[in-house]
Structure 1
Amino acid sequence: MAALERLGPYRIGRKLGRGGMGTVYAAEALDTGIIAAVKVLSAALGRDDGFRERFEAEIDTLRKLRHPNIVRLYGFGEEDGLLFYGMELVDGASLEDELQAGRRFNWREVLQISIKLCRALRHAHDRGIIHRDIKPANLLLSTDGEIKLSDFGIAKLFGHSGMTADGGVIGTAEYMAPEQADGRPVTNRCDLYSLGCVMYALCAGRPPFRARSLPEMLHMQRYAEPEPLRTFAPEAPVELEQIVADLLVKEPDRRIPTAMVLARRLEAMEHGLLRRERRSELDAADVDNEEFTYTPNVPLDATLVGTQVDAESSPPPEQQDELGFELRSDDDLPPTRIAPSPHQQRTLAPGELPSTGHTESGTVQLVGAEEAGPGQPTMAAPVGATKSSLASPAKRFTSVEETEDVDAPPVASRGPLISPQTVLLLGALVSLAAGAWYFLQPPTADALYRRILLAAASDKSDALSNARPDIDEFLARYPNDNRAPELRGYRAEIDLEKLERQFQRRPRGGAEELSPVERAYATAIRAAELDPELGITKLQALLAVYGDDAEISDRGRQCLELAERQLDRLQADAPEQLAANLEQISRQLARAEAIESSDVAKARSIYAGVVELYGDKTWARDEVARARLRLEQLPKAP
């Protein structure tokens, strides 16, 4: 086969890679000069009529994706029997390449990558598109540190062909959700499971499961439990380990439900860990500046000498008491003193309790305020004794018999002070009071959090809104809980959705009670319903005028956030909608040109209508110019 020089609008350059599906080239778009990656599929796929239909349908669907963390699909085509598609060329390497090179990502890097991928997945899932094959090989890290998700929908496209890239089966199965391995229907949560596997691999340097064959890997994905993340990445926070474990749950219904919920949990975790680190730094600074004084709870007439004793110098068992302390006779006792420190030496003031002194070798010596009397042993602390053990008083056991007064006269037996019936009644009253107290107690933070998560995971559109009372109660009772930032995000989301519904239901009139920001937003979204381009212009103007105003009200700030969301949606959908509009106009112009010879008046009215309707639209400039030209060329009406 001769070397390719051109495919569609692309001038083919160097080969970037080759696999079982086809070959990837660097290419330049002749009309725009954009450097793209062009994937040319194998000739065998091009001869498959069923695949050709799926190819066109699936690739056309993927053109809807417009997100900074998704590799953009520029277009697709066929030439000389070869199917190909052009996509954004990312200057960098895949995460698989980084892992194969031995790179271990720290947990902060994994956190940032995962949050960006969550946003990309939310963009796709909101449009009904599931990736189906999230793995490090499909995650591209550009030279400027941006993460890009590639090959959207390619797993679905090639899943019917019976073909796969060289060595790609096992690699894909390592990150495949259990329901995919079972052949069950694929949902958004499959992507979240695969993302959990990727997070595990980036932290641990290996995927959750390793197998020697594809069947073994699929079996492990369905039934095996992975080792905890911190087994291989001990530096990872416990919170991150728990989130990854929640993503790798076998049952889809028990996983984190959406990419948005996952992103909010990761952001809340990041915020909480940052606060904890700052608090730890402050606590450490306080500890460094504090001076601790330790006073042992020992008798004043005892001498406690802490020494570093090795096995050879330890006294025999008969010279040790029950705690392992060395017993010495009274003759062995040194004079009453505090053992001298290298830093200071002093004698005890009258009545002063003994305190610890640190010797140069790190041992501790405690000496009684007076010489030990007869029968009072000196105790030498065994190796490894702690402050608490040294401070414990000498053990003593006194039997009950020793406290009885043998000379006391016997006490006459008396009847019970309280009757059994009274005891039963009091017990019933106490039980009733305890039960009432228990049921009147406010719910715990964990109970509230579980109820809120169940609402967030529900498929009902109003489930999270109905959980607003639980969210408010959690934040009121437990404002310092590390889950509070996540729930504040839920509450903000509920407020935004409520405000958006209010604007959608607001009648055309009655804008006099709105603030300038609210009025401008209402005008922009109404304009966008009829003219997306005009809506984009008005929303951009709104954000430019009020976006940096620090004195804007809370409701105005919510309107600005809604404006940003609406602008993102319009800009993502604008190319597709504009293309449809241009196609409609072109069809009408073609119809007018076809009837010029038979019905000049009708053709003239179509051309004039195009000029009237779209004369002020920049995106229809070429079509309007075409209509004006035809009007000039038509014979004048009699």
Structure 2
Amino acid sequence: MIDFEHLGPYKVLDKLGQGGMGAVYRGEHAKSQERVAIKVIAPQIADQPRFRRRFATEIETLKKLNHPNIVRLIGYGEEEGHLFYSMELVDGPSLQQQIRSLKRLPWRDVVRYGIDICGALKHAHDFGVIHRDLKPANLLIAEDQSMKLTDFGIAKLWLGDDMTAVGAMLGTADYMAPEQAGDGPITPRTDLYALGNVLYACLAGRPPFAGKDLTRVITSLHTDPPPPLDLILPELPMELVSLIHQLLEKGPKDRPPTALAVGNRLRAILADDLQIGSLTFDADRPTIDNAPTLGAGADESLDLGAPSLIPTDQRPTLDATNHPDGGTGSQFGFEDTINSEVQEFPEAATLAPLTHFRTVDQEERNRASAPLTSDAQESTPRESLLSILLLIGLLLLLVTAALWMMQPPSAESLYNKISEAEDFGDVDNAAGAIKQFLAQYPDDYRAEEVSALADQIDSDRVFRRLRVRARFKGGIEQLEPAEQAFVEAMLLREENPAEARELLEDWLIVFSHADHRDRSVARLIPIVRQEIQPLKDSKGKQANTQAQQLRAWIDGSLTRLDPDRHREFLESVIRLYADKSWAEEEIRRTQDLLGAAGPDGVPAERFAPVEPPATEAVDAE
């Protein structure tokens, strides 16, 4: 049975879901037939002043937000004492339902969802709105596969909002940031932590700290690192794993700074994978045409104001906010943005005392989202002309800047950027420049050198990933045989290149036979081949360089050390380098010097007495 027949200008069709703070209904406008989602505050709390104040704040919040990835506010009002507002109806499942259905979503789809969510968060953060309860249940998938963020019911306006004190905990514990469960300030990076949890849950099938025990979840938020995603899904791009784990850093300062920065990194990951700029979904992605619509599931979370203390989907939810009691707030009207004729709904004066309606048109929406300024003064024709000229100048400047930015960077600038990163030992950060250089300047005389760097980056990433996996498994010996042998050989590259080369050549003989079907081994084969060649090339060069350095030290000792210390120096050289093949010649020379040393430990020829020059006999005497 439906609780209402009409709410404002809407005919109530059916109930979509029930939450701790009220219910959601599907409604149809009496004249335009537009279908909407109507959120109604539960009657037992609608008359409480602090909840009316929160309702008013939520409406003001939603007025500010006008973005394609945020569910749009259509109108709001009060019907016979029932507070309600109408929202854009999204005929699609929530992300939570999608995760339940598919368990783990394709990573490319997850990246696309993340880009949409970042767009919504950036828009909200730009207007001082923090969502505070970002979770899969509050993310809806539209028919065009775009993501829609909803339920700003516990959002905090940090531009002067006094309704939530620092340290107040609002949000679902599974997706809550550590500062929400502690005494830290709530900032836009709080939403970014929740975004990391959402992306993690889409890929792994569950958030990193899910559980029914509230105390254990809160403790894990503060102390435990999330299980490494690449252990669960080794095929994930390293850049995506790194970004998600950075979003899940305990300290807000260690997370990415803004939603814009996160969105740009997600776009770069997708562009690197697709090699194109368009963001289209995979043709073979699972369809969701038959998935339940918003709130169709009996256990779907549909919080309207603050989260309920009743668990949502058996997950602990907190509401420890202490709101100051306020007045009853204003009585709200209703507004519709479809057509002007829709405003012909009966005037409020003809209805019951607690029934009022108001229209929220685009002008009011723009006014709510506009920054606070003083009243504008009428401008003179001269001022208007100057303003027009200024706008034209700015437009020309923007066009010039855009054209300049659209020009691809030169090969020289890309190479300099790559070289600078290599000099600082941070080649990973130049991965984008390397890829761009090879794509745009494949015939450049430096392309071979840059290509070698690209291969090295791939090799190092695989090596690092295996070392992380070994650490979490309890040691290198816990890896698969091929992975274990590969890691052990790679660890010797710096210390003993010759032995490392021999081990890698043996590895290739054992694991590269033609009928091999192991994907993890097949992935390592080209990496091993590219690692062997530099070790071959560097063997002679390195040995020659090392021998030259040792010769320089020995030659320097002939003039730098006093006689008492020279024998000790020569003996130490022999003990240090006698077993090094590259030092054989210098060791023989050192032994000769030591054997030729005088009684004081110095080669005799170095300190032999100098005979005085012959002089003629003095016969004149």
- Give the TM-score normalised by the residue count of structure 2: 0.44
Q: Scaled by the length of structure 1, what TM-score is found? A: 0.43
Tell which structure's C-alpha radius of gyration is larger: 1
More contact order relative to length (CA 8 Å, sep ≥ 6):
2
